[in-house]
Amino acid sequence: MNDPTTVLIVDDHALFREGLKELLESDGGIVVVGQAGDSKGAVALAAEHKPHVVLLDVEIPGDEVTTTVSRIQAVSPRSEVIILSMYDGAYLVQNLLAQNIRGYLLKSVGRVELLGAVHAARTDHDRVVLAVSRESLAQVQPARGNPLSAREQQVLELVAEALSNRQIAHRLHLTEATVKRHLRNIFVKLGAVSRVDAVNKAVAASLVKPPSSHP
């Protein structure tokens, strides 16, 4: 993948935007294609530029952040949204994860972590990056029962059978993008880092049956 990762920065502080732009473009593989200071501008620039990644401040003027995320996804389906925030309330994090954001980062994160999250948002479609407090992370992780939706469980059962995303999509009459979104949600809910890890954790929790190849 030789073409640069394009990024839209959304924050109501111009000085922060400029500093973030300089940091991102120092990477060499990232180009900032636009900056917005409110939700309306964010949606308009997302529609115009179709960036790979949108770095979205959680408290920008205008619409609620959850509404802004939905509108960005509607006008630019390829854009992956990473939330930047000064705080990490568990309820808000949970709601945004349900909207398939690709990351939730506190503004205290370092350069390496931020750049890694931006690159992962474009290249690693199964990864969700969370840089939040331990307390908040504990609250967004399910504590008991089956945390998976019926569809997520269907997807994971087929993953356990070693089917590819394409095969799962065909079996369930879904698009591959939808299967990937379900997998991202599964990883977050189970605290998994890979397909194998998700299956192992689901088997251990009796959420899915062990793969038939296992004794």
Residue 168 and residue 79 share a domain: no
Considering 81, 105, 139, which residue would you say is the last residue of a domain?
139
213 lies in some domain: no
User: Can you tell me the distance from the alpha carbon of 71 to that of 40, in angstroms, rounded to the nearest whole number?
Assistant: 9
Average pLDDT over residues 103-130: 87
Please write the tens of the pLDDT for every residue from 147-169.
777 788 889 999 999 999 999 99
Task: Name the burial class of residue 4, with classes exposed (0-12), middle (13-18) and buried (19+) by CB atoms within 10 angstroms of its CB.
Answer: middle
Write the CATH number for 161: 1.10.10.10
Identify the band that residue 215 occupies on the pLDDT scale cut at 50, 70 and 90.
Answer: very low
Q: 116 lies in a domain?
A: yes
Query: In the predicted model, is pLDDT for residue 206 greater than 70?
Result: yes
Is 8 strand, coil or helix? strand
Q: Which residue has the tokens 């908040």?
A: 136
Q: What is the pTM of this model?
A: 0.65
Q: Is residue 82 domain-resident?
A: yes
Regarding whether 76 and 11 lie in a shared domain, the answer is yes
Of the candidates 63, 199, 53, the one whose C-alpha atom is nearest the C-alpha of residue 129 is 53
Sorting pLDDT into bands at 50, 70 and 90, what band is 145?
low
**Residues spanned by the domain of 119:** 5-139
Residue 58 lies in a domain: yes
Is residue 12 one of the residues assigned to a domain?
yes
Q: Based on the domain organization, do 22 and 128 belong to the same domain?
A: yes
Task: For Cα atoms 170, 160, 149, give the angle at the middle one, nearest 5 degrees.
Answer: 75
Residues 6+ apart with CB under 8 A from 134: none
Query: Quick check: is 212 in a domain?
Result: no
Place of tokens 């952040």: 65
Number of separate domains in the chain:
2
Q: Are residues 135 and 51 in the same domain?
A: yes
Do both 183 and 157 map to the same domain? Answer: yes
Q: Are residues 197 and 91 in the same domain?
A: no
Quote the pLDDT of residue 138.
58
Supply 207's token pair.
């959420």
The segment with the largest mean pLDDT, out of 27-31, 98-102, 197-201, is 27-31
73: in domain: yes
| Mean pLDDT for all residues in the chain | 85
Q: Which of 105, 139, 173 is the last residue of a domain?
A: 139
Q: Domain for residue 211, yes or no?
A: no
